[in-house]
Amino acid sequence: MPFIPHTDEDIAAMLDTIGVDSIDALFDEIPAELRAQGLDGIPAGLSEMEVTQLLQARARTDGEPTCFIGAGAYDHHIPAAVWQITTRGEFYSAYTPYQAEASQGTLQVLYEFQSMMTALTGLDVSNASLYDGASALAEAVLMAVRSNRKIKHPRVLMPRTVHPFYRRTVASIVQHQGIELVEVDFDKRSGQTQVAHCEAVADAPFAALVVPQPNVFGVLEEVDALTDWAQARDALVIGVVNPVALALLSPPGDWGQAGADIACGEGQPLGMPLASGGPYLGFLCCKQAFIRQLPGRIAGRTQDRDGKIGYTLTLQAREQHIRRSKATSNICTNQGLLVTAATIHMAILGAEGLERVAAACHANTARLAQQLCEVPGVEPIFDAPVFHERALRLPAPTETVLAGLAEQDILGGFDLGREYPELGSALLVCATEKRTDAEIAAYREALASALIIAKAA
């Protein structure tokens, strides 16, 4: 009986105290015809040793290929201390800090995280995290529509340079809120969303404009111009940002004359392993004026009876367990464990460490793109500056090329052609600080041979 501690004597004594003959008798309020007769399809239990052997074999099956994919999840170095501390049982197996006095560890971590995120984004306040970057953008859109007092039209401009998975997630989550998501096209030469593209769809008032930085192509948007343009039309600006890039790039709070109103994004680059896509964390920050429309948990600093500093969840009247059907969102969890990892990660790296990581990614990707473009027929698609990803055009179908690379244990990038057919055979590549010169050179060789095979096919 895995994890059940009862001895036969315990069971007998407990049944005696309750006054029943058997454990089965405890289920006597359940209609007999509903009782399950067995569990077909569930195998017998295994020992930890057997499960270990099974899982080790499964993990080996997937190999450890060299990863040049980014597209929203990035292969960064994580200090060993981050997860050794995060998985201490006191963090790992604690519940939501509803009993604040018995949860000061978690609560102070949340407060420190919120402080670090406001420092990175240049905004006033942060919540204690949401599920992931894409669902955080959905909440940001809902929040912007609720918050905009001047524009009551539930219309949001959503550039096509926002990650397509993010746009789909937003569409799923807000689909029953009567919100119109208006696509904004991009410049095919620079890969940027320009004011002219926004103008083209702004014939009616809109509550918010989403601005990705960097955008899905890795390209840097003209965030100041976009912010000023939207705010001049009384719209709110939602930045979707990469937190590591923010070590180098202008924070949303500094965009344009007045700064973006809301910033959100994916926290994975701050100490979370790729892990097939989750668990990650979504962050959501905003100007002070909108804090009561900010969904999710928020930790606050206060005092105890003796005037000693302590931390507690605050503004809970926004949340579903108090407000029920009138809550700002149905969201209940934050990603507490991932917040712990991100907070320790940021504490260890500091602003300068993150800046070095960002600079190394930027330089590695520039080197990667340059070397890949030495392969005949491979060329960059856009001419605007990028952060740590670059879109390349291939002289053969991307899918075939990627399969050829995968055979050589290289994950060559993200196939953009599926989402942006107008770009033709397009591949999005990324080299984080972890990719070595030797790996980049090996990729170049592998791409050359994969292209020869693909063209012959």
Partner 1 sequence: MLIQEHSRPGRRATAQAPLATPDQAELPPALRRKQRAALPEVSELQAVRHYTRLSQQNFSIDTHFYPLGSCTMKYNPRACNSLASLPGFLARHPAAPESHSQGIMACLHELQDMLKSVTGMHAVSLAPAAGAQGELAGVMMIRAYHDARGDQYRREMLVPDAAHGTNPASAIMAGFTVREVPTGANGDVDLDALRAAVGPQTAGIMLTNPSTVGVFDRNIQAIAKTVHEAGGLLYYDGANLNAILGQVRPGDMGFDVIHMNLHKTFSTPHGGGGPGAGPVGVSKRLEPYLPIPLVARDEQDRYRWLDEDDRPESIGRLTAFGGNMGILLRAYIYARLLGAEGMRRVAEFATLNANYLQARLRAAGFQLAYPERRASHEFIITLKKESKDFGVNTMDVAKRLLDYGYHAPTTYFPLLVPECLLIEPTETETKEALDGFVEAMIQIRAEAEHEPETVRQAPHNLPVRRLDDVRAARQLDVAWKPGQQDI
Q: Which is nearer to partner 1, 234 or 383 (CB)?
A: 383
Asked if residue 332 binds partner 1 (CB under 8 A), the reply is yes
Whether 157 contacts 208, CB under 8 Å: yes
Report the C-alpha gap between 274 and 132 in whole angstroms. 13
CB of 455 to partner 1, least distance (A): 20
Using CB under 8 A, which residues numbered 295 to 314 contact partner 1?
A: 297-306, 308-312, 314
Of 26-34, 151-159, 180-188, 375-383, the segment contacting partner 1 by CB under 8 A is 26-34
**By rule CB under 8 A, what string of x and - marks binding of each residue 126-145 to partner 1?**
x-xx-xxxxx----------
Instruction: Give φ, ψ of 182 to 5 degrees.
Output: -100, 120
Report the C-alpha gap between 414 and 197 in whole angstroms. 25
Candidate list 8, 62, 203, 422; residue touching partner 1; CB under 8 A? 62
Asked if residue 315 binds partner 1 (CB under 8 A), the reply is yes
Q: Which is nearer to partner 1, 173 or 202 (CB)?
A: 173
Q: Which is nearer to partner 1, 80 or 456 (CB)?
A: 80
CB of 128 to partner 1, least distance (A): 7
Asked if residue 150 binds partner 1 (CB under 8 A), the reply is no
The CA-CA-CA angle for residues 366, 184, 391, to 5°, reads: 20
Using CB under 8 A, which residues numbered 417 to 456 contact partner 1?
A: 433
CB of 182 to partner 1, least distance (A): 18
Q: Which is nearer to partner 1, 157 or 219 (CB)?
A: 219
Asked if residue 353 binds partner 1 (CB under 8 A), the reply is yes
Using CB under 8 A, which residues numbered 215 to 234 contact partner 1?
A: 220, 223-224
CB of 191 to partner 1, least distance (A): 14
**By rule CB under 8 A, what string of x and - marks binding of each residue 247-276 to partner 1?**
xxxxx--x-----------x------xxxx
> In terms of Cα–Cα distance, which of 185, 241, 234 is closest to 211?
241
> In terms of Cα–Cα distance, which of 120, 116, 127, 130 is closest to 347?
116
Locate tokens 């960002």: which residue? 358
**Which helix (H) or strand (E) segment is 168 a member of?**
helix 164-174
**Which helix (H) or strand (E) segment is 165 a member of?**
helix 164-174
Cross-strand bridge partners of residue 202: none
Asked if residue 397 binds partner 1 (CB under 8 A), the reply is no
Q: Which is nearer to partner 1, 183 or 234 (CB)?
A: 183
Q: Count of residues for the chain?
A: 457
Count of CB atoms situated within 10 Å of the CB of 362:
20
**Sheet with 180-184, edge to edge strand ranges:** 125-126, 282-286, 262-266, 236-241, 208-213, 155-159, 180-184
Candidate list 411, 442, 448, 453; residue touching partner 1; CB under 8 A? 411
Whether 266 contacts 130, CB under 8 Å: no
> In terms of Cα–Cα distance, which of 365, 361, 360, 362 is closest to 428?
365
Whether 304 contacts 100, CB under 8 Å: no
Report the C-alpha gap between 285 and 272 in whole angstroms. 20
Q: Which is nearer to partner 1, 236 or 349 (CB)?
A: 349
Asked if residue 408 binds partner 1 (CB under 8 A), the reply is no
36 burial type by CB count under 10 A (0-12 exposed, 13-18 middle, 19+ buried): exposed
Candidate list 152, 321, 441, 449; residue touching partner 1; CB under 8 A? 321
CB of 203 to partner 1, least distance (A): 27
CB of 274 to partner 1, least distance (A): 5
Q: Which is nearer to partner 1, 202 or 329 (CB)?
A: 329
Q: Which is nearer to partner 1, 126 or 371 (CB)?
A: 126
Strand duo 155-159 + 236-241: pairing: unpaired
Q: Which is nearer to partner 1, 27 or 188 (CB)?
A: 27
Of 27-35, 149-157, 192-200, 373-381, the segment contacting partner 1 by CB under 8 A is 27-35
Asked if residue 355 binds partner 1 (CB under 8 A), the reply is yes
Write the CB contacts of 91 (distance below 8 Å, at least 6 apart in sequence): 85, 105, 106, 109, 336, 337, 340
3-state DSSP assignment of residue 91: helix
Using CB under 8 A, which residues numbered 155 to 214 contact partner 1?
A: 163, 165-166, 168-169, 171-173, 175-177
